[in-house]
Amino acid sequence: MATATLKIFLAYGDPKRLRTAELSNWTGKAVSGPRSEFDKVLEREESQGAGVYFLSGTDPETNKSAIYIGEAESIKDRVKSHLSKDFWNNITFFITKGENLTKAHIKYLEGRLIDIARTTERAIVMNSQGSGAKLPESDREDMEIFLEKMQQVLPVLGVDAFLDKSSSAIHNKQKKEFLNCNIKGLVATGYLTPNGIVVLKGSQAVMEERASAQKWPSVLAQRNKLIEEGALVEKDGAYVFAKDIEFSSPSSAAATIHGGSANGLTAWANKDGIQLKQLQNG
């Protein structure tokens, strides 16, 4: 993506409360706020316009990030119907300052965003079905540019569901050095990302859990979920990562690999054996 200047306005001075975001030289505008300020978000004049909205939170059944993606000719009128959904704790929506988004435009954006979110697998998409609309070629190109701008703004507002893992992987493989996490002759390999650490497909983890894990079962919650989902599979007396998995921290990744709580700063080291702790301390 091209470099950009982003202007964020904090309506109450608190970065977690109601805020707006605009990119320089772009007609789009985002409004975002917590569910606790739902009424204040809808009091904004922007909510009367046509656009695309996002309800983000946590799926209560899986404890994973979840998102609902919608479109409306009047954001204010449409989103009120979602108050019965209990998974979301933040609302973000995009409109255009030029008021030139038609119903076909926003349905096209909604469909593309649903497809992207399902592809990235960063969050559970709560929509029951896809959407979309056919557009003339020129309009389609305009909306793809609008979509790219939205994807630049969304992570800044805390919505990570559309971050492309593959492109970030390429970037990090080029820019960052690989780290290893070794235990009992098994090796896991990964690299740091802005969101934590990615453990690469083919990495190994112990099968047996540490005795101490019984005292803190939450430490292995993600490990157990990965086993259940088939992302960690048994092979030759060890668990093997069936795909690249991103963890929120080096310690959570090490806990999955070690079968119990672990200090990621000392568990991960580069090819020369220098621990992550030392690498980060320079």
pLDDT tens per residue, range 190-216: 999 877 899 999 999 999 998 877 777
Instruction: Give residue 282's pLDDT band: very low, low, confident or very high (50, 70, 90).
Output: low
Number of H helices, E strands in the chain: 9, 15
pLDDT for residue 131: 79
**What domain range includes position 135?**
6-163
- Token pair, residue 53, equals 């909205």
- Token pair, residue 272, equals 């020369």
- Token pair, residue 72, equals 């409306």
Q: Say if 56 falls within a structural domain.
A: yes
**DSSP-based helix, strand, coil % in the chain, nearest 5:** 40, 25, 35
User: Is the pLDDT confidence value at 223 over 60?
Assistant: yes
pLDDT for residue 195: 77
**CA 247 – CA 256 distance, rounded (Å):** 10
User: Is the pLDDT confidence value at 55 over 70?
Assistant: yes
With pLDDT > 90 as the criterion, what percentage of the chain qualifies? 74
Last-in-domain residue among 163, 184, 201:
163
Q: Mean pLDDT for the chain?
A: 90
Q: Bigger pLDDT: 166 or 8?
A: 8
Q: State the average pLDDT over residues 117-138.
A: 90
pLDDT for residue 248: 86
pLDDT for residue 23: 95
pLDDT for residue 175: 57
Residues 20 and 146 in one domain: yes
50 CB-near residues (< 8 Å, 6+ apart)? 71, 72, 73, 74, 75, 95, 99, 101, 102, 103, 106
Residues 38 and 100 in one domain: yes
Longest dimension (CA), the chain: 62
**CA 281 – CA 266 distance, rounded (Å):** 12
Residues 194 and 219 in one domain: yes
Residues 175 and 90 in one domain: no
Residues 119 and 144 in one domain: yes
Expressed in angstroms, the distance from the first to the final Cα of the chain is 30
Last-in-domain residue among 145, 163, 181:
163
54 CB-near residues (< 8 Å, 6+ apart)? 67, 68, 69, 70, 91, 92, 93, 154, 159, 161
The amino acid that residue 251 corresponds to is S
Instruction: Give residue 170's pLDDT band: very low, low, confident or very high (50, 70, 90).
Output: very low
pLDDT tens per residue, range 225-279: 899 989 999 999 999 999 999 888 999 999 999 999 899 999 999 999 999 999 8
Residues 199 and 113 in one domain: no
Q: Say if 1 falls within a structural domain.
A: no
Residues 159 and 190 in one domain: no
105 CB-near residues (< 8 Å, 6+ apart)? 133, 135, 139, 143
Residues 226 and 246 in one domain: yes
Residues 154 and 210 in one domain: no
Residues 102 and 13 in one domain: yes
Q: Say if 232 falls within a structural domain.
A: yes
Describe the crossing of helices 137-153 and 103-120 by its angle, rounded to 10 degrees. 50
Last-in-domain residue among 130, 163, 196:
163
Residues 85 and 72 in one domain: yes
Report DSSP letters for 202-222, one per residue.
T-EE-SSPPGGGGT-GGGGHH
Residues 193 and 157 in one domain: no
Instruction: Give residue 98's pLDDT band: very low, low, confident or very high (50, 70, 90).
Output: confident
- Token pair, residue 266, equals 């000392």
